[in-house]
Structure formats: C-alpha cells, structure tokens
C-alpha cells in the first residue's frame, strides 16, 4: 500500500483530521486521548453491543470490570465521569432492578470511532469506495464496528501492540494527538506547506492538555531518537507510523465491509 501514489496524501489527511480542534469546549477528547481510558470506553461499547447482538450477559459495570483494563476504582470513577457528561446512560436491568445496564450514547461512540473513520477515509482515498461515509452515517454501524474490533482484540491482541512508539505515545495524556501533529508537520513539509506549530503552548492549547504533558511526550520522542531537536520526525518514526496506518486501514476496512455486506 505504501507504494501507491495516493498513500502519502491519504495518511497526511488522516493526520490533519486528527489534529483538528475539538468542536466542544468540554474536554471530551482530553478525557479519551489516553490509551487506558480510551480502551475502557471502547470495551464499554463492546460490552453493550455484545448484549444486543449476541445475547451476552447484561452490560453492567461488574461485567465491564473484567475487560476494561482499569482497576475497579479507576473504572468506577471513569464511568461516573462518563455518566455526568451524558456520554453513558444507565437503566435498570429487566428482572433485576438492582443492576444497571450501561448504554453508550452516540457522542461517545462517535468520538471513540473518530480515528477509525479517519483511517477508513484514508483507505477510501487510496482504493476508492465510501466505507468511511457509510460507516459514519449510522451510530449503530459504528457501534457494531467497535464491537467486532474488540472481539478480535480479545481473541488475538491489539492492532497497536507491534508498534512500540505509537503504543508508547498512546499511553501518555495527549501523546497520540501530539504524535499525529508531528506527522502532519512531516507531510506538510514534504508538500511545501506551512508547518504545524509544535511549541509547547500551541500543542497544549490545541489538545486541551498541560504544557507538562506535552513536555513529557516530546521528551520521550526526543530521547528515543524518534524526533530531532527541530521536532522533525525521523525515518524510523515515519516508517512505523505508516505501517501502523496500513494496519488500521486494513483492520477497519475488513470489519466495515463485512458489516455492510447483504445477508
């Protein structure tokens, strides 16, 4: 895929999508821009759709604790925040009103799917088609996409695991967004476009995190040799990010193609 003439432009557009300012002043993206919290929300969506699609046990907090990756205390606190932000609703379980079903709201599903849909758009740009548009047209389709993706993760491991720099960045608050900004800057320079501003204050404001969070991310990337003093992506980082992008494009394209296939 990397040899396709459209590949670089497709990945560049993915990065530009991921660094767009948040449309809301409420820090939803800040809440979900760290892997542990993102993964817990991702598994909350899996928990709900497993119940809807497969008749799995009710999507309660107790069941989510078995797969969320967070400690019970962390998960309880996180779900409380999601409920307060109206990203998750609760309702009594039929036949057992002492237990509550956790139902993800559309805004949560859309935000968790944001990178997935952007990778689908990159896939569409290279191969033609309209998978991103078709997936994003329905919150139900997005929810099923996450459910199918999580089923594969639970059986075979995460897509991100083979990419150590991307994985490390995802573990920091704001790490993955900062990484996509560095990559967006790389592609802009390749095309002779104005650079992304990669200063501490600019990145902190863009991604609604603190300057210290940005400093931690940039420090790790510099110490590992992934970027230079000018915050320019090195060849190894470009190689890893582009291979990661291919894996994500192919992963979600397979899932959505199967979901949209007529019975």
Any idea where the domains of the chain sit in the sequence?
Answer: 7-22+114-147+158-260, 35-110
Per-residue pLDDT, averaged over 43-67, amounts to: 95
Q: Which pLDDT band holds residue 263 (cuts at 50, 70, 90)? A: low
CATH of 35-110, one of 1.10.510.10, 1.10.10.10, 3.40.50.11810, 3.65.10.10: 1.10.10.10
Distance in angstroms (rounded) separating the CA atoms of residues 17 and 227: 22
What distance in Å separates the CA atoms of residue 62 and residue 196, rounded to the nearest whole number? 44
| Three-point CA angle 122, 125, 130, nearest 5° | 90
Q: 191-229 pLDDT, tens per residue?
A: 999 999 999 999 999 999 999 999 999 999 999 999 999
Instruction: Give just the sign of the alpha carbon dihedral 190, 193, 197, 203.
Output: negative
0.75 exceeded by pTM: yes
Distance between first and last Cα of the chain = 30
């Amino acid at each position: 895929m990397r040899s396709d003439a459209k590949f670089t432009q497709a990945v560049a557009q993915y990065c530009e999508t991921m660094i767009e300012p948040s449309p809301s002043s409420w820090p939803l993206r800040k809440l979900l821009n760290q892997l542990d919290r993102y993964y817990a929300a991702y598994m909350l969506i899996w928990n709900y759709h497993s119940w809807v699609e497969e008749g799995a046990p009710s999507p309660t907090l107790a069941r989510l604790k078995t797969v969320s990756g967070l400690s019970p205390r962390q998960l309880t606190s996180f779900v409380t925040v999601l409920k307060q932000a109206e990203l998750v609703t609760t309702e009594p379980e039929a036949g057992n009103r002492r237990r509550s079903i956790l139902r993800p709201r559309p805004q949560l599903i859309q935000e968790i799917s944001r990178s997935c849909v952007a990778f689908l758009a990159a896939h569409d740009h290279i191969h033609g088609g309209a998978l991103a548009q078709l997936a994003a047209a329905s919150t139900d389709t997005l929810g099923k996409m996450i459910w199918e993706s999580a089923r594969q993760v639970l059986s075979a491991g995460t897509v991100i695991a083979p990419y150590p720099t991307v994985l490390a960045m995802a573990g920091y608050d704001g790490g993955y967004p900062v990484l996509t900004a560095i990559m967006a800057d790389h592609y802009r320079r390749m095309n002779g476009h104005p650079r992304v501003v990669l200063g501490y204050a600019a990145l902190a404001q863009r991604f609604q995190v603190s300057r210290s969070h940005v400093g931690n991310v940039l420090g790790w990337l510099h110490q590992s040799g992934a970027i230079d003093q000018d915050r320019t992506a090195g060849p190894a980082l470009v190689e890893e990010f582009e291979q990661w992008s291919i894996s994500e494009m192919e992963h979600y394209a397979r899932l959505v193609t199967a979901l949209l296939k007529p019975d």
